[in-house]
A and B are shown apart, each in its own frame.
Chain A
Amino acid sequence: MTDDDEQVLASVPPGYWYSLVLAAWAKRVLSSRDLSVGERLAMLEGLGNCVHGSLTPAVLAAVAPVGETVRQIIEEALRLDIDANSESGELSFQVLTRPDVFANLLRLEPSLFDAIRLMSRH
Chain B
Amino acid sequence: MNEMPQAAQADEHRPGKRRRRQKYSAEPLAVVPDESELGPAMLKLTERQRRFVMELKCGPVGYGSEVRAAKAAGYGTPTSSDNYLRFAAHDVLHNPKVQDALREVGGKLIRAAAFQSIRNTEAIANDLNHRDCLRANLALLDRGFPTETFHHITVQKTTPEMLVVASEKVLARIAELAARAGLDPLVQIEAARAAKQIEGVAEPIDD
Contact = CB atoms under 8 A, between A and B. Distances in A.
Interface of A: 23, 27, 30-33, 35-42, 44-45, 47-48, 51, 57, 60-63
Contacts of A38: 161-164
A58 to B, nearest CB: 9
B8 interface: no
Nearest to B159: A38
A33 B161 CA distance: 17
A35 B189 CA distance: 12
Contacts of A31: 187
A111 to B, nearest CB: 10
Interface residues of B, number: 23
Contacts of B195: 33, 35-37, 40
Top 6 A-B residue pairs of the complex, sorted by shortest distance between their CB atoms: A61-B182, A38-B164, A38-B162, A44-B177, A47-B181, A37-B164
Residue of B166, B181, B192 with most chain A CB atoms under a 10 A cut-off:
B181
Interface of B: 161-166, 170, 173-174, 177-178, 180-183, 187-188, 191-192, 194-197
Contact of B197 (A27, A33, A37, A61): A37
A41 to B, nearest CB: 6
A82 B48 CA distance: 36
A48 B164 contact: no
16 contacts: A23-B181, A30-B183, A31-B187, A33-B191, A33-B195, A36-B161, A36-B162, A37-B197, A40-B174, A40-B188, A44-B174, A44-B188, A45-B177, A48-B181, A60-B180, A61-B180
B191 A40 contact: yes
Contacts of B163: 36, 38
Contacts of B165: 37
Residue from A39, A41, A47, A57 having most chain B Cβ neighbours under 10 A: A41
A118 to B, nearest CB: 12
